[in-house]
């Protein structure tokens, strides 16, 4: 089952379970569509795999199978200027 990570690992944009702009690779690295396309050319910077549209988990399953709440960002040099101030 997918973790459905809650944010883009590049710019830290929120990506709720219903987000249609979430992109993932086979290792579930998660990015927003803007970063995936414009910064990484839809190729995961971590593994080199394709970044594809993340499936949306139907709301009726979120109670029993919740999305992850653990935010994750990675220090990709291409993303440094995009991150929210802490």
* Residue with more model confidence, 4 or 80: 4
Question: What are the φ/ψ torsions at residue 67 (nearest 5 degrees)?
Answer: -75, 160
Over its C-alpha atoms, the chain yields an Rg (Å, rounded) of 12
pLDDT per position as a tens digit, 25-81: 999 999 999 999 999 999 999 999 999 999 999 999 999 999 999 999 999 999 888
In this prediction, residue 54 carries a pLDDT of: 98
Global pTM? 0.91
Question: What are the φ/ψ torsions at residue 52 (nearest 5 degrees)?
Answer: -125, 165
From CA 50, how far away is CA 19, in angstroms rounded? 19
> Of 6, 52, 10, which is closest to residue 27 (Cα–Cα)?
52
Tokens of 60: 């009726």
């Amino acid at each position: 089952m997918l973790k459905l990570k809650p944010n883009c690992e590049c710019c830290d944009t929120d990506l709720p379970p219903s987000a249609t702009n979430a992109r993932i690779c086979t290792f579930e690295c998660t990015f927003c569509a803007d970063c995936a396309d414009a910064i990484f050319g839809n190729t995961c910077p971590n593994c080199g795999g394709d970044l594809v549209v993340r499936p949306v988990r139907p709301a009726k399953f979120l109670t029993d199978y919740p999305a992850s709440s653990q935010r994750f960002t990675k220090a990709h040099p291409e993303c440094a200027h995009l991150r929210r101030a802490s």
